[in-house]
Amino acid sequence: MRNYQRGGASSEEELLYGILDDLIDEEFKCFKRCLYNKFLKGFQPIPKSRLEKADRTDTVDQMFQSYCIYTIKVAVKALEEILRNDLVDNIPKSIKKPEGKSERDENWDIAETSRTKCKH
């Protein structure tokens, strides 16, 4: 995975930029499809219109605007959906889990009706 140094970007943003950069174009499309389909219970999908033409940088921005402290955890679930567990394994455990506890922490099931597995 590549390291990115972007002005003003948090370590989580830099990490996510690097992860998305490691996806081939077809995988990136599938990743975005996870975000605009309601694949996680308890989280609103990002509107398709915001992601359809979004590049990797725009996608990271949309994710942080939509999911805040849960962005990395949502990214992990999306990566698992597109079968890129190798990238999940590179994320430090301290970043995977947001601090504090809320109802959303208990509700990380993938919606059964919206599986978005892509074939590569």
- pLDDT tens-place string over residues 49-73: 999 999 999 999 999 999 999 999 9
In a domain, 108, yes or no: no
Token representation of residue 51: 């992601």
115 falls within a domain: no
The string of pLDDT tens digits covering residues 70-117 is 999 999 999 999 999 999 998 887 776 655 555 445 555 555 434 445
**Residue 57, in any domain of the structure:** yes
Give the pair of three-digit tokens for residue 119.
């074939």
Domain residues for 58?
Answer: 11-95
* Residue 74 within any structural domain of the chain: yes
Tell me the two tokens of residue 49: 């219109």
Could you tell me the two tokens for 84? 């890129």
d(CA 56, CA 62): 10
- Whether this prediction's pTM lies above 0.85 is answered by no
CATH code of residue 90 = 1.10.533.10
